[in-house]
């Protein structure tokens, strides 16, 4: 749950990886994918595993989803690839992992660790080892962090006096706190909501109960369809940061989007134009 105090009549949620910071490619290509190949027995099809994982996590409409559902999608896609079948590589998706995901909303290491301690399930234990190895690699590779995209800080300056600002992300809480603090951005933020808080939908829902914001006074800023779905589920507005055109998107938010949000002219035709453009960026299936 969240424990910030609402100070404004507007609320803005901002996704972090790939949205505020150019870290998606770095984290997935250098941290997530190598550990996925190692822990899930994909060395014999490493080329195709890398290709599939990049598509799911970076270049498809699944971009930005929680690491555990993303892992399952990667393994499911690999099971069906002709290269996997031709090489006789057997890929098993643990039922215990699927069961845990179906009953747990806070899909993060603390909840998974508790499940491992309660069940002693070896597949859940392996999943936890994989996830912890990713976090350690992120610490090494990302290090002192990556600066935010141009115009992020300028947008935060505009937001801070008119809106409560939340980081709403599927990234672990510790990593988010480190990255935002390292770049001197936590001064703008009312609260950081990582995967341990819940889904992005739940984080916005919790915030709504605190601030009782009007629907058209809540804006989610994100780079993935999951961010948009979280906004829709909470009757909020959505401003897309288009993958591959992040700088242009943030500049547009700075020069026109925020003004429209605060003056009430965002909803309707303006938002639909943004959504139509956003929908052209990420396919559902590989081309």
Q: Which residues of the chain have a pLDDT value below 70? A: 287
pLDDT of residue 287: 58
* Cα 151 from Cα 218, distance rounded (Å): 20
Tokens of 46: 């490493």
* Cα 274 from Cα 240, distance rounded (Å): 7
Long-range contacts of range 178-187, CB-CB < 8 Å, 24 or more positions apart?
178/145, 179/16, 179/21, 179/23, 179/142, 179/145, 179/146, 180/16, 182/144, 182/145, 183/21, 183/145, 183/147, 183/148, 185/20, 185/148, 185/152, 185/153, 185/156
Tokens of 149: 């995209």
Q: Is residue 25 packed enough to be buried (19+ CB in 10 Å), middle (13-18) or exposed (0-12)?
A: middle
What is the greatest pairwise CA distance in the chain? Answer: 60
Tokens of 280: 């052209």
pLDDT of residue 105: 85
Kindly report, residue by residue over 182-230, the tens digit of the pLDDT. 999 999 999 999 988 989 999 999 999 999 999 999 999 999 999 999 9
Q: Is residue 143 packed enough to be buried (19+ CB in 10 Å), middle (13-18) or exposed (0-12)?
A: exposed
Torsion of CA 244, 254, 203, 245, to 10 degrees: 0
Residue for token pair 């590989």: 286
pLDDT of residue 143: 74
Kindly state the helix (H) or strand (E) to which residue 283 belongs, with its residue range: none
**If DSSP codes are grouped into helix, strand and coil, which group holds residue 11?**
strand
pTM: predicted TM-score of the whole model, two decimal places:
0.87
pLDDT of residue 2: 86
Tokens of 115: 């499940």
pLDDT of residue 145: 74
* Radius of gyration for the alpha carbons in the chain, expressed in angstroms and rounded: 19
Kindly state the helix (H) or strand (E) to which residue 14 belongs, with its residue range: strand 10-14
**What is the per-residue DSSP string for 216-258?**
GGEEEEESSHHHHHHHHHTT-EEEE--TT-HHHHHHHIIIIIH
Kindly state the helix (H) or strand (E) to which residue 192 belongs, with its residue range: strand 191-193
Domains by residue range for the chain, with CATH: 10-22+148-278 (3.40.50.1000), 24-142 (no CATH)
């Amino acid at each position: 749950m969240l424990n910030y105090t609402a100070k404004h009549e507007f609320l803005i949620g901002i996704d972090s990886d790939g949205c505020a910071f150019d870290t998606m490619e770095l984290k997935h290509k250098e941290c997530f994918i190598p550990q996925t190949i190692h822990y899930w027995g994909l060395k014999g099809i490493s080329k195709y595993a890398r290709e599939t994982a990049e598509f799911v996590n970076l270049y498809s409409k699944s971009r930005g989803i929680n690491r555990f559902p993303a892992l399952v999608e990667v393994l499911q896609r690999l099971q069906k690839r002709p290269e996997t079948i031709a090489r006789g590589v057997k890929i098993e998706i643990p039922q215990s992992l699927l069961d845990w995901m179906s009953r747990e909303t806070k899909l993060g290491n603390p909840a998974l660790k508790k499940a491992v301690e309660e069940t002693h399930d070896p597949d859940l234990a392996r999943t936890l080892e994989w996830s912890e190895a990713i976090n350690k690699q992120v610490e090494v590779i990302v290090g002192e962090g990556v600066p935010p995209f141009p115009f992020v800080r300028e947008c935060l300056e505009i937001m801070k006096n008119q809106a409560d600002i939340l980081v709403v992300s599927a990234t672990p809480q510790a990593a988010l706190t480190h990255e935002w603090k390292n770049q001197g951005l936590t001064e703008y933020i009312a609260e950081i909501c990582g995967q341990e808080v819940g889904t992005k939908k739940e984080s916005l829902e919790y915030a709504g109960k605190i601030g009782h914001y009007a629907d058209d006074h809540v804006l989610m800023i994100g780079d993935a369809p999951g961010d948009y779905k979280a906004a829709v589920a909470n009757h909020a507005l959505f401003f897309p940061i288009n993958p591959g055109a992040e700088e242009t998107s943030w500049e547009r938010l700075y020069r026109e989007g925020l003004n429209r949000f605060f003056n009430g002219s965002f909803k309707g035709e303006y938002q639909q134009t943004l959504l139509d453009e956003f929908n052209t960026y990420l396919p559902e299936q590989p081309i």
